[in-house]
Amino acid sequence: MSEPADRRYGPAPLPMARGPLSAAAVEALRRSPHDLPADLGVGLYPADPITDEDLQLMLFLCYELHYRGWLGVDESWEWQPTLLALRARCERVFEAALRRLVGVPSVPAAGVAAGLAELVAADDGPALAAMLQRRADLTQFREFVAHRSVYHLREADPHSWALPRLGGPAKAALVEIQSDEYGNGRLDRMHAELFRSTLDRLGLDTGYGAHIDVAPAVTLATNNLMSLFGLHRRLRGALLGHLAAFEMTSSLPNRRYGNGLRRLGFDEVATHFYDEHVEADAVHEQIAAHDMCGGLVRVEPALAPDVLFGAAAGLAVDRLFAAHLLDSWAAGRSSLRAPAPPAVPPTVSLVASPEVAPPAFV
């Protein structure tokens, strides 16, 4: 199948394999649907599943079949039984690692909203946003944006899996949040489209999935976490908890990201995505914690621990992601995998510092 005329919306080409498991999957997906070997993935016990390149790409390959699919891949693979069985084996390893990472969060007497606030207040992860605001150079900022493109070009989609699984106040609250994420029906206001403008201003490929090959396992894990929660009804509480933590920790970092781009001389088109989230997420924070998660637990009290697990897991994996970027930069190396994302000419040059051109990754 040839490259689509409009690469902005997918499907993306199949990525390069990162180990024997993903190699077997990529090779299989290039062919018509067929049964995979029954022992594929059996006995899979990577040392650190969250940062294992082969496992995380394997999960991403499977999950993307439920989003935009893969270029040239038969859509019947989405429900191929032996591929689903392989995905389930990988998911068990991933979920077990997440539960070991965060333990079992306790629900305070004050309720789930208070528990979410406690988790957020206790989050002392690496100060990635402050670094991007004050010290990051253009190459580092472009790396950060390339990482985040894996999620932001389909922003809101993973959490939308919860909509048909909810009713009542939790569903109404989620619809309110998601409506803003999707631009309230206006293409030019969809957050994914705003982020595409940021990519364009920074001279990065704006195609859907364009940066998957350079995204390391920990970046894929931040996305696979949402898909794991979203594609399993039993984890609907965790999915809402993840979204709540995301909204409750978003406003200040986005302000810093926008300020970091302004420091580097970029205009309001480049910063619009981040500026929009400063205001929107401040409102979403209250809706997510009290109306959405609180509303869910009022109807289904048994899901309160799941809500806090999802929030804690999201915060913990984001800490690992931030630490990876900061540690890589402190060591003087790229935080991306080779090959680096291709640079394309920005549509508008830098505003405050026109003499500085966005460098290509090397």
| 218-233 pLDDT tens trace | 999 999 999 999 999 9
pLDDT of 339 higher than 70: no
Residue pair 247/177 in contact by the 8 Å Cβ criterion: yes
Tokens of 326: 């900061």
How would you class 297 by CB atoms within 10 Å of its CB: exposed for 0-12, middle for 13-18, buried for 19 or more? buried
Cβ contact 73:234 at 8 Å:
no
Q: What angle do CA 266, 268, 274 make, to 5 degrees?
A: 95
Question: What's the domain range around 80?
Answer: 16-101
Concatenated DSSP letters for 10-57?
A: -PBPPPPP-SHHHHHHHHHHTSS--PPPTTTTTT---S-GGG-HHHHH
Same domain, 176 and 226: yes
Please indicate, yes or no, whether residues 95 and 170 belong to a single structural domain of this protein: no
User: With 50 as the cut, is the pLDDT of residue 171 above it?
Assistant: yes
Do 215 and 326 belong together in one domain?
yes
Domain assignment present for 6 = no
How many structural domains is the chain composed of?
2
Is 341 or 206 the better-scoring residue by pLDDT? 206
269 by Cβ neighbours in 10 Å (0-12 / 13-18 / 19+) ranks as middle
For residue 337, tell me if it sits in a domain. no
Own/partner pairs, 156-159, CB within 8 angstroms, 24+ separation: 156/181, 156/182, 156/191, 156/192, 157/67, 158/223, 158/226, 158/227, 158/229, 158/230, 158/239, 159/226, 159/230, 159/239, 159/240, 159/242, 159/243
Phi, psi for 263 (deg, rounded to 5): -60, -35
Residues 322 and 184 in one domain: yes
Residue 358: what pLDDT? 35
The pLDDT-based confidence of 197 (bands split at 50, 70, 90) is: very high
Give pLDDT, residue 95: 98
Residue in 196, 198, 216, 217 with CA at minimum distance from that of residue 207: 196
In whole angstroms, give the CA distance from residue 214 to residue 219.
Answer: 10
234: domain CATH number?
1.20.910.10
Judged by average pLDDT, the poorest of 45-49, 177-181, 331-335, 358-362 is: 358-362
Domain final position from 101, 121, 141:
101
**Of 50-59, 220-229, 235-244, 280-289, the least confident:** 280-289
Whole-model pTM over 0.85? yes
